[in-house]
Every structure is written in structure tokens, then in C-alpha cells.
Amino acid sequence: MRNADIAMILKEVADLLEIKGETAFKVRAYRKAVTSIEHLGIEVASLRSEGKLREIPGVGEAIAEKITEILDTGELQYHQRLRAEFPHGILVLMDVPGIGPKTAYRLCTELGISNLEQLEAALLDGRVSGLFRMGEKTAANILRHIQAARSREKRVPIGIALPLAEEIMDHLRRCFDLPDLTPAGSLRRFRDTVRDIDLMCTSDRAKEVIETFCSLPMVEAVIARGSTKGSILAHSGLQVDLRIVEPGSFGSLLQHFTGSREHNTTMRERAQRLGLKLSEYGITDVSAGVLERFTGEESFYRRTGLPWIPPELREGGLEILAAEQGRLPILLEEGDLRGDLHVHTSWSDGRDNIEAMALAARDMGYEYLAITDHSRGRGIARGLDAERLREQVDEVRAIDARLPGIRLLTGIELDIRADGSLDLPDEVLAGLDVVIASVHSSMNQDMDKMTARVLKAIEHPYVDIVAHPTCRILGERDPVAMDVESVLRAAARTGTALEINAMPDRLDLKDAHIYRARQLGVRLVLSTDAHCGQHVGLVRYGVRTARRGWCQAADIVNTRPLEEVVLKTGMLGASKREVATRHNE
DNA sequence: GCCGTTTTCGGCCCGACTGTTTTCAGTCG
């Protein structure tokens, strides 16, 4: 039973309790537990076996018992009983925007509706608008939402959303002086996917800015065009909101719209205990009844007794406690990185040659770059066999010798075959600086097989790094079935590094896994997996993802100068032994 | 149902918008 399954059962319990009219606080308690479980970097099952279920934020005695029942039996009696009270399918109604628990309950009890088809029919023939306190407009809105939801994409990978946001911001900056124009929302927090784009700025020409925004070339349709807020649908299907606010309240507004909801809720609960009321307009001292306004976020947080919290951490988990205790991490920054340990060239499926990749890395200010093309198993990617690899190593060394300003490392990205074996012999690997192994095939293996397969690679004496460990492609391919906790523990024990793959459609490991990896002391490498020179610059996506996993520079192997980079084997492994020898002398 | 500078009871974030109503319920972020 995986975390997502447990979370789904508890979410349905919350929805059903809400429909039933249970106390809002009870419903909220379940929702809070669901959010915690969804952001957990460790399997609930393994927490349970350690007797640590209650350590999940929002999980108390009652919910811990329910989780235990779910883990033991695969289901929850309480959940089954609640479901039996309502027509099958009622939960689908609540997923329609504009339909909350009250409306869902009435649609189901008064009209006997239990699916979207019945709902649509009732909307069209006037039964819905005939209900008490419902009208034509309400019915039309719900109908519009149903039809929109059918055609609309769900969440969009950040690698698509961020470039669009930046393009829009560039356009606006060319027309107006907008020094504080910035994304807010999940885009600013750098979640791996976003539902929409929120932009914010201050300006004394708000109306003109909004007019320009609504007539940009990427606009498909204008949804709203007001004096302080514009809302458009871009060609790509993404909704983009632009909000223009008073400079005096920019800090509290930016804080409010950056979220997450859980972060804001926790901030406000805490402030309430201090006699303060937080809102997007500022902070009110309840006893004095005076509203203080804030131009920046730093002063806003300071007024609540906290240091500024980086947006990437604002998920409402542990960041507020850490801020209170002065334990916020000094997060990794792009400038901390000194090299990239995973790129491809035209020797396999890359677009650029070795020298072009080296120059791209040098332009990034890097000190070193590992050339790690695919091995022979990747026939389709022109993977290297032992002979071509030897030729490539010669070329890498030749270019390294004549190219100043960057050190080139030899390497390979091996296939981990379905049985966990590698597709080049050990004696070939022994001469390389960097040996990466990764899964590229047979991705639908069951969890036991896949876990054993990856563990075998981690245990292999010549494997330095396991790349993109869960193999997900955002919006295209789910992560493989794998016991991530076991993989992390094995990586920590053996010293095999795991990769934070910076390609924006991978971001793998993901934030929660990175957080857990740090807890366990796993070595982490942050690489791009670039297939052309331009892609080396995509490293920032990986950096922001690492920050969401609370990474500091010291957590990432390739923030170290080359002579201190310690990988498991190869030349770098040799340097590890040399360092150890020198140390002993 | 959770949780503690209010610690085993009694609280639990804040405001905007919409549509349906003449003061507010429901929904959303």
C-alpha cells in the first residue's frame, strides 16, 4: 500500500464527512493528514513498522489507527460505511469547480444525481436551477466548468510554465518600468508542476499594463480585464493571472499569493496565538486594532517574529518550526555548483560534440565536466560498446589536454538491465572517472523486481551514481514501482550517489525524496543529463528542486572542487584513496 | 480529529466573490 493510496482513502473520508455535514474542523484534520502524507519522503508503511505514525504532522491517535487498518487490510471500514451512505459517484460531483459539499449533497439527495452525465442532463433541463437558492446563473456556471474540465489539461510541468511566464514578463518589462514584477504561487515555490501562473507587480499605470498584458501575442482568450487584475488563457492552455497592487502592501500580498495554503494557514494560526491577524493587506495587532502594511516580505515575516522563509520551503510542513528555532537551512544556490557529472554528446544521442559541451560548461563557470554517453544497451541511442568507449576516452583526454579552463572527466551512463546486471564489463569501467547507471527499459516491472534491480546496481563496486532513480517523465510517464526508502538506505550505506536530474521534465529525485535522502545521509549529485550545450543551463531547475528538498551546498557532491569530489570508484575513487592516504600521513 | 506561550479542554486562518437574496450561504484560493 503506497502513500498515494492511503492519502486517497483519507481524502475520500474527508470529502464524505464534509458532505455529511460533519464539523469543519474534523474535515480539516483529515485534509491536513492527507497533505502531510502526500508530501512525505518516506513510505507510511515503514514509519508504521518503526511505530512513528504519530510523527506525521496532523496524524493523531484516531487517524494513526485508521492508517494502521488500511496498511493491514488494504481498506478502511469507516470509509466503506461512509461511502455506503451516499450514492456511488457523489465524490465526482465535488470535483467540479463551483460544487462544494452542500451542493453535492443536495444534487444527490434531491435530484438523485450521482455522475457527471446525470448532472449535465439536469443542468440542461432546468432541474438544477429549479432548486431552492439555485438559479440560472449558477446552473450555467457549473455547466461551463464541466465542459471546461473535459477539455482542459491538468497540471503542467514547470519546464513549460516557467518559460511562458518569463516570456510574458519580458514583454511587459519592455513596455513598462516594472522592477518588482515576479511570479507568485506554486511557480514561485518551484513545484514540479503548476495549475496556473500568477504574476504580481506594482505600477502606477495599472490599467495600461493590464491592457498590454491582455493583448500579448501568446494570448488565446481574455478571461478578465479589470483595473487591478487581468486574466488570460495562453495558447498552451495555461491560465495566467496578472495582479497589480499598491506598493505599500506588496510584501503581504506577495506572501499571501505565494502560499502554499498550508503555509499560510499555519502562519496565521501561529500569529493568532501572538495576538496578530495576518491577511493579504498586512498584519493587525488585535488588541490595538491597527493594520500595519509591508512593502516587502522580509519585514512581514519579521513582524511575526520569524526570519524570511525561502519560497521553496513554504509547503506548510516543518519550515515554520525551523524558522522559529533559527534552524532554516542556507539553501544551495546555482553558483555553488562547480561541475556537471552527467552529459551526452554526439557520440551517442546528444546533439553537440565533446568540445561544444565542454565550452558550454566552461561558460557556466564550471571547473569540470563528465562526459557520460549511453552504453551499448541503448542501441537506439547509438550507445557505446567497449571499443568505441575506448576511442571516446582518448578523444576526451585529448580535448582536455588542449582546452584551458575546464577539466574533462571520462565516463559512461550504463543501462541497468532488467535483471540488474550492467551492460559493460567491469574491466572497462575500472578505467573511467565517473560510472553512472540507470534504468531505461522494462519499466513496468513490479515493485519487488524493480527494487532488487536498482539495489543490485547500487551495490555494484564500480557504480558511482544512479541517475534519474525513479524514471518519471512529468506529464508523460509515472515513476517506476520501486521501494524508494530501501534504495535510499542502500545508497547511504554503500556511498553510491543518487542523482538529482535537473531536466525540467524529470526533476528526479523529486523534492520529498531529496529531503529523505538528506536525512539518511545519501550522497547527492546534481546534474543536467544535457543532450546539447544549451541544456547545461537547465541546471537551475535542479537547483530549485534541491532547495525544495532543503539541500545546502554541502549536501551536493559537485559543489566540491574536483580534488575533493569523492565518488565510489574510478579515478575519482582513486583520489578518494589518495586523500585518505595523505590524511593518514 | 488534532493539539498545546490557551497543554487533556476548548479552541481551530482570512478575505473575496458570486448568486441569491434583502442579510447571507456556499465556494474558492
Do residues A139 and A271 share a domain? no
Q: Are A331 and A312 in contact (CB under 8 A)?
A: yes
Name the domain count of chain A.
Answer: 4
On strand B, nucleotides with any atom < 7 Å from a protein CB are: 1-3, 5-6, 11-15, 18-21, 25-29
Mean pLDDT of A141-157: 79
Assigned domain for A331 exists: no
Strand nucleotide closest to residue A60 (CA to C1'):
B2
Of the ranges A213-227, A335-349, A523-537, which one carries the lowest mean pLDDT score? Answer: A213-227
For residue A40, tell me if it sits in a domain. yes
Q: How far is the CA of A292 from the C1' of B10 (A)?
A: 30
Asked if residue A262 and residue A241 are part of one domain, the reply reads no
Q: Please provide the distance, in angstroms rounded to a whole number, between the alpha carbons at the two ends of chain A.
A: 52
Structure confidence at residue A574 (pLDDT): 56
Q: Which residues pair with A157 in a beta bridge?
A: A193
CA of A197 to C1' of B25 (A): 30
Mean pLDDT (chain A) is 91
* The domain boundary residue, chosen from A151, A169, A193: A151
Residues A96 and A114 occupy one common structural domain: yes
- A579 has a pLDDT exceeding 60: no
Nearest nucleotide (C1') to alpha carbon of A137: B19
Provide, in whole angstroms, the distance separating residue A102's CA from nucleotide B25's C1'.
10
Among the candidates A228, A245, A262, a domain finishes at A245
C1' (B23) to CA (A133) span, angstroms: 14
Does residue A330 lie within any of the structural domains? Answer: no
B17: residue with closest CA to C1': A98
pLDDT at A584: 43
Q: What are the tens digits of pLDDT across the range A405-421?
A: 999 999 999 999 999 99
A259: nt with nearest C1' to CA: B29
> Each residue of A1-37: pLDDT tens digit?
888 899 999 999 999 999 888 888 999 999 999 988 9
Domain boundary among A245, A263, A284: A245
Q: Per residue in A478-527, pLDDT tens?
A: 899 999 999 999 999 999 999 999 999 999 999 999 999 999 999 999 99
Q: Does residue A342 sit in the same domain as residue A441?
A: yes
What is the model's pLDDT at position A38? 86
Residues 6+ apart with CB under 8 A from A495: A523, A568
A387 and A518 belong to one structural domain? yes
Q: Residues 6 or more apart from A215 whose CB is under 8 A from it? A: none
Same domain for A542 and A399, yes or no, is: yes
Lowest mean per-residue pLDDT among A144-153, A169-178, A364-373, A464-473:
A144-153
Any domain includes A362: yes
Whether residue A235 is contained in a domain is answered as yes
Mean pLDDT of A47-63: 92
- Rounded Cα–Cα distance for residues A241 and A395 (Å): 51
Q: Which nucleotide's C1' sits nearest to the alpha carbon of A104?
A: B26
Overall average pLDDT of the A270-294 stretch: 90
Q: Do residues A540 and A470 share a domain?
A: yes
Q: Residue A408's domain is classified under what CATH number?
A: 3.20.20.140
A204, A259: one domain: no
Same domain, A141 and A161: no
Residue A308 domain-assigned (yes or no) = yes
**Stretch A286-308: mean pLDDT, rounded?**
92
A263 has pLDDT over 50: yes
Range of the domain at A286: 250-324
Mean pLDDT value across residues A327-350: 96
In a domain? residue A329? no
Strand A239-245 to strand A229-234: parallel, antiparallel, or no bridges (unpaired)? antiparallel
CA A225 to chain centre: 31
Residues A163 and A201 in one domain: yes
Å between A253 CA and B16 C1'?
A: 14
pLDDT bucket at A583, cuts 50 / 70 / 90: very low
| Sign for the pseudo-dihedral over CA of A395, A400, A406, A409 | positive
Same domain for A236 and A112? no
Nucleotide minimizing C1' to CA distance for residue A56? B2
**How many Å apart are A231 CA and B16 C1'?**
16
Let me know if residue A404 belongs to a domain: yes
